Structure 1
Amino acid sequence: MTTPEPRPDPFHTRLLQTFRFEVVLTRSGSDDGTPERFTDGSFQECSGLELEADVKDYLEGGRNDGVVRRVGRVKLQPIVLKRGLFALDGGADSALWDWLQGMVAGVLPIARYDGVIAVKDATGAETRATWRFVRGLPVKVTGPALNAKSGDIAIEELHIVHEGLRMVGR
């Protein structure tokens, strides 16, 4: 009598699935309508894909058993990308640092960039989800802790504030 092969646990395999996050930045409001591609990057972590609405409570006279609630302003969180790299011909692309340095130096008008964050499967072949943000500005860039043993050139953290966030289909 042979023992049956154990069946794979579908819940376990889903928990172990890994994803990649690819980021593409394009210039906001180009004059001719065609987007100017700024830079592409890949990151290990992404947070800040959230919207939070203020809620305003209105107390109606004569209605003591409830409250009317209305939606107020929406708060946008900065997008935070961690442990990644904007690459150009196999090396690091300095376009992001140049963008930030231009802001620090007071170069006007300040360039704004729209972004697409695509969540790829472990192989990188299929897009699982896509978010778009508009009119982004980098507010914080943290470089790697340089270590001759590891040779890392990745960006440790990139914070981008923006003026709108949408989740779109694949």
Structure 2
Amino acid sequence: MADPFLLTSFRFEVRLLKSPDILAGRQRLPAAGDGFKAPSGGKQLTEGAFQGSFQDCTGLEIEMDVQEYLEGGRNNGVVRRVGRAKYAPLVLKRGMFHAPDAQATVDPALWYWMQRILNGERPVPRYDGIVQVMSADKTVRATWVFDRALPSKIKGPELNARTGEVAIEELTLVHEGLRLLPAEPTP
């Protein structure tokens, strides 16, 4: 029998929130119209926010670059010092879907984000993110927050008529920080 206090990894939610723009050393808060259009199956939270239906999220990790210092006269080892943090890219996967309307196509919001950047939109639109893992009763048990994400790769589905698999799109985000937030006490 499974331990009731172990966290399962299949109940999670990802939200993207418009990051403040940094212009000439100053932050500009998101303005009306800066929003991330919510794809079908996603839910618009507020202007500049998106709550997504992703089936897979990987890359919640931090690695520290340890610096080695070779101290003179110490031949039996090296001194190790704290270095910079390295954040793994977050990879989000979701099934491609379209609205029930026969004329509707798949939602292009994630693709448009990447294309706007590649077409020279400045300041570059960045998004902060929240990944929440929930227990069976939908209580949030773990929350990671990442900062100033950029899309580094977007990948369409692998199309193969013989398999009949669901079309999956994949978004890779690079970001500038990742934190696990402390749990809020239950009243």
* TM-score computed with the length of structure 2 as normaliser: 0.68
Determine the C-alpha separation between the residues in 1 that align with 2:80 and 2:153.
Answer: 36
Q: Deviations over 1:80-109 (max 9, x none)?
A: 1123579999x9653222211101211222
The CA RMSD over aligned residues, in Å, is 3.5
Which amino acid is 1:157 matched to?
A: E
| 1:62-73 map, 5 Å | 62-73=73-84
Ranges in structure 1 where 5+ consecutive residues have no aligned partner: 1-8
Query: How high is the sequence identity, in percent, across the aligned residues?
Result: 52
Matched residue pairs, number? 159
Q: Measure the CA separation in 2 of the matches of 1:88 and 1:114.
A: 27
In the alignment, the residues of structure 1 paired with residue 95 and residue 141 of structure 2 have an alpha-carbon distance, to the nearest angstrom, of: 19
1:47 has 2:58 as partner: yes
Secondary structure of residue in 1 paired with 2:115: helix
1:1-170 aligned at under 5 Å gives the runs 9-11=1-3, 17-29=8-20, 31-32=28-29, 36-84=47-95, 93-122=107-136, 125-145=138-158, 152=166, 155-170=168-183
More helix by share: 1
User: Which deviations, in whole Å up to 9, do the C-alpha atoms of 1:55-98 show, x marking residues without a partner?
Assistant: 11112222233321111222121101123579999x96532222
TM-score, structure 1 as length reference: 0.74
Secondary structure in 2 aligned to 1:43?
Answer: coil
Give the direction of change, closer, same or farther, for the CA distance of 1:75–1:87 in structure 2 (3 Å limit).
farther
* Maintained 8 Å contact 1:21/1:119: yes
